[in-house]
């Protein structure tokens, strides 16, 4: 494991998710890794247990942690509920209240990484690189009505937990994670394969900062090292690209033509200033073109030319 993160007892929430599952599988061989989720998918649980992860089925929002130890060295909070039906009570409980209940239970940890999202920022268009001090807002409402507000609420709870229990916390605002385990570019590839249109916001280009799962895993040790009281807040992102660019490259690799449709019913650009990330943690090492090609090789090798 890069950075010497070994021999630790680590709790990962949401370990069946796109981002957290590769993390759990990477950490498990050299750490005592525990995963907490509802585990409604037996196959996903089986993959984690086969990798050496101790799985505990529970609902974080319930507040019942009796089945879970409280002596973890580190907590990686990747659990998220993306309600599409605007059930605010459920989604605030599952995202914000659950964060507080979790960190109360694990208040003696050496450090916590709380995974947030750049969806917390107020939309400012493709030309503005968002800094950690920029205005927050309801960025993703058009696609996920509760997502941005719940993420902001969860950040506030994590900040409270750091100060209340002197618990070192890093709040990492993740941009577009992707890799062999999926992500937004992987969805776009599936759309292209099945002839579905790919939405573009009218403010073009549609710019984001994709970050490969290898960089997420590689930067984890340092993300835990910079945890502090009050909480450290940092963007978690790679080099800039755009939907137009990565779909064009997917088309070159797979011999497909992306079918774009311009609509207000999608999120606009969320592109970040990564100065603080580079100073505190370092730069991403996987370029987006290399990462996209590797993603295609892992998920659809039959599409690539010899």
DSSP 8-class letter at 146: T
Phi–psi pair at 106, nearest 5 degrees? -105, 30
User: Residue 305: what pLDDT?
Assistant: 75
Cα gap 119→115, rounded to integer Å: 12
- Cα-based angle 9, 11, 17 (whole degrees, multiple of 5): 140
Q: Are 48 and 143 in contact (CB under 8 A)?
A: no
Cα gap 176→184, rounded to integer Å: 7
State pLDDT tens for residues 54-95.
999 999 999 999 999 999 999 999 999 887 688 999 999 999
Encoded tokens for 135:
């205005």
Segment (H or E) for 246: helix 243-254
**Looking at residues 151-162, what average pLDDT do you find?**
98
CATH 3.60.21.10 is the classification of domain 7-181+210-238+270-285: no
Q: Are 207 and 126 in contact (CB under 8 A)?
A: yes
State pLDDT tens for residues 96-106.
999 999 999 99
State pLDDT tens for residues 250-269.
999 999 999 999 999 999 99
Cα gap 121→31, rounded to integer Å: 34
- Kindly list the domain boundaries of the chain, sorted by start residue: 7-181+210-238+270-285
Cα gap 274→271, rounded to integer Å: 9
- Residue 143 contacts by C-beta under 8 Å, 6 or more apart in sequence? 265, 266, 267
């Amino acid at each position: 494991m890069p950075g010497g993160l070994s021999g630790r007892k680590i709790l990962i929430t949401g370990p069946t998710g796109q981002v957290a599952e590769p993390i759990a599988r990477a950490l498990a061989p050299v750490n005592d890794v525990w995963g907490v989720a509802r585990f409604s998918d037996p196959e996903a649980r089986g993959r984690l247990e086969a990798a050496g992860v101790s799985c505990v089925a529970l609902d974080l929002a319930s507040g019942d942690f009796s089945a879970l130890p409280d002596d973890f060295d580190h907590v990686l909070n990747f659990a998220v509920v993306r309600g599409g039906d605007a059930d605010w009570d459920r989604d605030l409980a599952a995202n914000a209240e659950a964060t507080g209940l979790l960190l109360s239970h694990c208040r003696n940890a050496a450090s916590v990484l709380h995974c947030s999202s750049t969806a917390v920022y107020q939309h400012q268009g493709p030309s503005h690189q968002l800094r950690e001090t920029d205005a927050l807002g309801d960025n993703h409402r058009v696609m996920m009505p509760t997502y941005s507000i719940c993420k902001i609420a969860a950040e506030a709870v994590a900040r409270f937990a750091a100060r209340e229990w002197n618990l070192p916390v890093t709040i990492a605002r993740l941009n577009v994670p992707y890799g062999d385990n999926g992500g937004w570019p992987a969805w776009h590839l599936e759309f292209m394969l099945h002839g579905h249109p790919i939405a573009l916001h009218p403010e073009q280009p549609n710019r984001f900062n994709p970050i490969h799962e290898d960089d997420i895993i590689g930067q984890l040790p340092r993300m835990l090292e910079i945890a502090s009281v009050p909480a450290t807040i940092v963007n978690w992102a790679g080099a800039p690209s755009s939907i137009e660019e990565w779909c064009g490259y997917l088309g070159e690799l797979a011999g497909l033509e992306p079918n774009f449709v311009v609509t207000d019913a999608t999120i606009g650009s969320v592109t970040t200033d990564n100065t603080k990330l580079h100073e505190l943690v370092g730069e991403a090492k996987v370029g987006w073109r290399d990462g996209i090609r590797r993603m295609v090789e892992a998920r659809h090798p039959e599409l690539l030319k010899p």
